[in-house]
Structure 1
Amino acid sequence: MGRMLTLLKKNRSVSGILILMLLSFSFAMFQGGFISWFIFYTFLPFAVYAMILVFYPLQAFDVERKISKQECQAGESVEITLIFSRKNRLPLLYMVVEEELPIDMTKRTLLFPGFKRSFNLTYTLDSLPRGEHFLHAVRFSIGDFLGLYEKEATMRSPMKITVFPTYQELNYKHLEYVFTQGQVGSSKKRQREHSVVSGIREYQPGDQLSWINWKATARTSEIMTKEFEEQRSHDTLLLLDEQVSPFFEEAIVLTASLVHALIKRGMDVGLASTGSREVVPARGGSKQRRKLFYQLTKAKATSINVWNGKLQKGIVPSNASVICVITELTMEKLDGLSAFGGNQMTLFCVKSPGDFTSEEKNVKSVALARGMKLGFFEPGHLQNERTEVKANAR
C-alpha cells in the first residue's frame, strides 16, 4: 500500500488513470443501462494495460550495441545496430528509442515490438567528421494505447568511434626538388670509423688530421684528404599550426598526407603542434604512422598563441628537418620558427599564392631570404583524388 501511495505521489498519470476508472465505474453504477456499462467495460482493458505498464520493469531489458567498424576515415559511414532483448512476452504497443550522438544530432526512432522477446534497430551515421566520438547510453520509452501513461529508462552502453583524418596520395613532382634525393634533412660527414671513403681531394680548412691520406699526399706532394660519403638525416618533424582557421581541416588532411608520403618513403617522422606540449618523437613504420594519425585525430583548433618565442627548443635533433603546416603566413610565425635554429625548414601553407595580401608577400620574401622553402596548397584541392603542390624555393 505504501508503494502504491509513493507511486501516486510521484506520477500524476497513474492518479489520472485511477480517477478515470472510478469515474467510469461511478457513472455506470448511478446511470445504469447498456451504454454506461459498455463505456466502462470498453475503457477498462486500456486502463488495466496502462496500470500493468506502471509496474513493468524496463530495467529487465538488455541492450547490446553492435557497430560495423570502430575505426574509419573521415567522410566514411558507420552502421550501428541496437539489439533489445527481454525475458517476458508482454505485448508492447510501441517503443521510442533515442540515442544521443556526439555529432550534434540525436537518433530517434519508433519501434513496434508487439510480443517479440528480441528485436533490433539499425541506423547509419553518414559522413563522420574527424575525431573521437563517444556513445554513452540509449534512452527508450513505452506507453499505452491512449497515451495515458508513458515510462522511460536509460541503459548504458558505452562505445567509442575513432575517425582518423583522411589523406591524399600526393602527386607532387617537386618532392625530389624540395626533399633532396628523396630525403629531407641536413647533411653531415660520417665519422671516420663509421664511414665509407668515396675518393680523395685537396685539403680544406676545417678538415681533421685523421682524414689525411698520407699515401696520396706523398705521391702528389700536396696534402690530400679522404672524401667521405655524405649522410643525410632521415628524421623529420612535422609541426602543425593549430590556429583557428576555416582551412584547419584541410591543414589536417595535408599533414596526414605528408605523414603517409614520408613514412612510405622509409623516413622517420615525428609530430608536434603549436597548441599542445605533446611531441611524438621521429620514428618510422606502420605503427608510427598509426600513432601520428591518432594524434591528428585528436587535434583541435585553438586560439592559444605559441608563436611569440614560446616554441619548445630541443624537441627535434639539430640534424633533422622541420616541415611546418600553416594556414596563414605571418612574421610572428617566422620569428617563432627561429627556435629550431639551423634545422632545414620547409613551410607548407594552405592558401593560394594569388590570395596573399601585400604583408604576406613581404613575409614570403623574408622566409625565402632566410633559406626556408615554401609550398602552397590551394584550399579545396585537397579533396581531389591526387593532389598537386605548387612549390617555391630559394
Structure 2
Amino acid sequence: MRPGRIIVKTGKALLLAAVMGGLYTYAMFQGGFVSWFLFYSVLSAVILNALFIAYPLRRLQVTRNVSRTMLSYNESMEVTLHVEKKLPFPFLFLSVEDTVPSGVEGLGQESGTIFFLSPALSLSHSYDIRGGRRGEYWFSTVMLRTGDLFGFITKEYEVDLPQPVTVLPRLRPLKRWNGLRNENQETTPSAVRMMDQSYSVAGVRDYIPGDKMTSVDWKVSARAGKLVTKEFESQEGQGHLVIIDNTIEKSRDALEERIEFAASFTDYCYKKGVPTGLGFSTGEEVLLEEESKRAHFQSIYQELAKLEPGSASFDEAVFFRQQFHGRSLLYITSVMSAQRTEELQQVLKNRNELVVAFCGHETMDEQERIRLEKLRGSGAVTAYVWMDDNAFDITS
C-alpha cells in the first residue's frame, strides 16, 4: 500500500475515534436520551462496519460458465459469473469483475457488476462477448472487492479461473477455384478438380448448415429421424495436403490473409467431403494427415486459429526438404525465393501434384513472378489470390 493511502486511512480512523470519544463525552456530561441515542447509533454503525470488513472474501465460491469454448469469426456467446455464499451475509457492496481477453470484444454489457446489501446466497452476472480476431485466448482472474461503510478499508481478492476460448479464422467463399488449370498439363491437379471428381461414400455424419442437399442420405435420415450427410472418400489419391507458409517475411497482415485462405479452403474441402491434411512450412513433418471426419476438420481449424509466426526465416523453413511421393499439395505463400523454387521443383519431380496459391500478389516483384512461371513450366498450377470483404477471388 502506498504511504499516502496509509496516511489517509490512518487519519480517517483517528477522526472516527475522535467522533466516538466526543459523543461518549457528550453523553456522559449531558446524560439525556438524545445524547445517548446518538452515541449508541454511531456505535452500532461502527460495529456493523467491522462486520462488513471482517467477512473473508476467500470464503466465497466463484465460478465462470461459458456457453461454448470455440467461436467462429464474429460469433457471440454468453459468459456468466456465479458467486456462492455459505452464509446469507449482506455485504455493504460486493464488486465482481471478470478479466476479458483482449482478442474478444464485449457487446455493450460490462464484464462486472456491483451487488448492494444482497443477502442472497447465490449471485450471478452475465455478459456477452464476440470473437473479433482469430486465436486462442484465456480468461484469467475474477476480481472481488468490498469495503466498509465509511470508506476506510477496501478489500480485494483475486480468484484464478483459467478458461480457454478459441476464435476460429474467418471463412470466405472461394471464387473460380475449380477453373484453375495448367496449360502445360493434360489434366488438372486433383486439388483443383474437386468439383468434377467422383467420390465413394465412406460413411455418414450429422447434417451441418451449408452442406449440399444432394449429399444428404435420405434413407438413413428417415431411419435415424434426423438429417445426415454422406461422407466421401476420394477415388483418386488420399486427399489434399495444405501447407501454409507461417513465416512473416513480409508482414503479419500477409500471414493472417494466408491463414484465412487456408481455413476457407479447408472449409471448402469439408463441405465436399474431401480428405484434407495440414502442415506448416517451418515444421519438419506433416502436422495432421489427410482425413475427412468432422473432428479432424475441427482440429485443422483449431490449429489455424492458434498458429503463430515461426521463428525461422522464409528460406530456413524445412518442410519441403522431406520426401513426398504421389501426393496432392496446396502450398499457400506470399513469398517465392530461388531456394523455395528449387525445393518445389524437387517435389514435382517426385510425381506429386502441386498448386501454389500466392496471396497478396499486388506486392509481388518481378523475380517472384519469374519463379512462379518457372514452377508453372515444371507442372505446377499457380493461383493468384485476391481477398475482399466477402470472398477470395482466384485467378491463374
Q: TM-score range by the shorter chain?
A: 0.7 to 0.9
**Equivalent residue number for residue 74 of structure 1:** 73
Q: CA deviation at 1:46?
A: 4.1
**Equivalent residue number for residue 163 of structure 2:** 159
Q: Which one of the candidate residues 290, 294, 301 is aligned to 1:293?
A: 301
Q: Deviations over 1:185-238 (max 9, x none)?
A: 99xxxxxxxxxxxxxxxxxxxxxxxxxxxxxxxxxxxxxxxxxxxx84243221
In 2, Cα distance between equivalents of 1:262 and 1:182: 15
**Equivalent residue number for residue 349 of structure 1:** 358
SS of corresponding position for 2:336: coil
In 2, Cα distance between equivalents of 1:48 and 1:346: 78
Q: Which one of the candidate residues 18, 24, 31 is aligned to 1:23?
A: 18
Q: Deviations over 1:83-120 (max 9, x none)?
A: 11213233223222222233268965331242232221
Residue 340, structure 1, aligned to residue 335, structure 2: no
In 2, Cα distance between equivalents of 1:257 and 1:47: 65
SS of corresponding position for 2:91: coil
In 2, Cα distance between equivalents of 1:323 and 1:104: 29
Using structure 1 for the length normalisation, give the TM-score.
0.72
One-letter amino acid matched to 2:357: F
**Equivalent residue number for residue 59 of structure 1:** 58
One-letter amino acid matched to 2:53: V
Within-5 A mapping of 1:109-148: 109-114=112-117, 115-148=119-152
Residue 377, structure 1, aligned to residue 381, structure 2: no
In 2, Cα distance between equivalents of 1:37 and 1:363: 96
- Sequence identity of aligned pairs in percent? 20
Moved more, 76-85 or 332-341: 332-341
In 1, Cα distance between equivalents of 2:144 and 2:372: 58
Q: CA deviation at 1:140?
A: 0.9
Cα contact 2:281–2:317 (8 A) shared by 1: no
Q: CA deviation at 1:271?
A: 0.9
**Equivalent residue number for residue 329 of structure 2:** 322
Aligned length: 332
Q: Deviations over 1:62-83 (max 9, x none)?
A: 2222212222212212210111
One-letter amino acid matched to 2:14: I
One-letter amino acid matched to 1:242: N
Within-5 A mapping of 1:227-242: 232-242=236-246
**Equivalent residue number for residue 367 of structure 2:** 359
Cα contact 1:17–1:47 (8 A) shared by 2: no
In 2, Cα distance between equivalents of 1:89 and 1:69: 32
In 2, Cα distance between equivalents of 1:306 and 1:247: 13
**Could you say if the C-alpha distance between residues 339 and 301 of structure 1 is closer, same or farther in structure 2, counting changes exceeding 3 Å?**
farther
**Could you say if the C-alpha distance between residues 320 and 328 of structure 1 is closer, same or farther in structure 2, counting changes exceeding 3 Å?**
same
Larger-gyration structure (1/2)? 1
Cα contact 1:132–1:160 (8 A) shared by 2: yes
Q: Deviations over 1:274-329 (max 9, x none)?
A: 233452122223232122212212211234225347335446x4001221111233
SS of corresponding position for 1:333: helix
Cα contact 1:307–1:335 (8 A) shared by 2: no
In 2, Cα distance between equivalents of 1:118 and 1:328: 57
Using structure 2 for the length normalisation, give the TM-score.
0.72
SS of corresponding position for 1:101: coil
In 1, Cα distance between equivalents of 2:275 and 2:163: 33
Q: CA deviation at 1:377?
A: 1.7
Gaps of at least 5 residues in structure 1 are 1-10, 187-230
Q: CA deviation at 1:239?
A: 0.7
* Alpha-carbon RMSD: 3.4
Residue 184, structure 1, aligned to residue 191, structure 2: yes
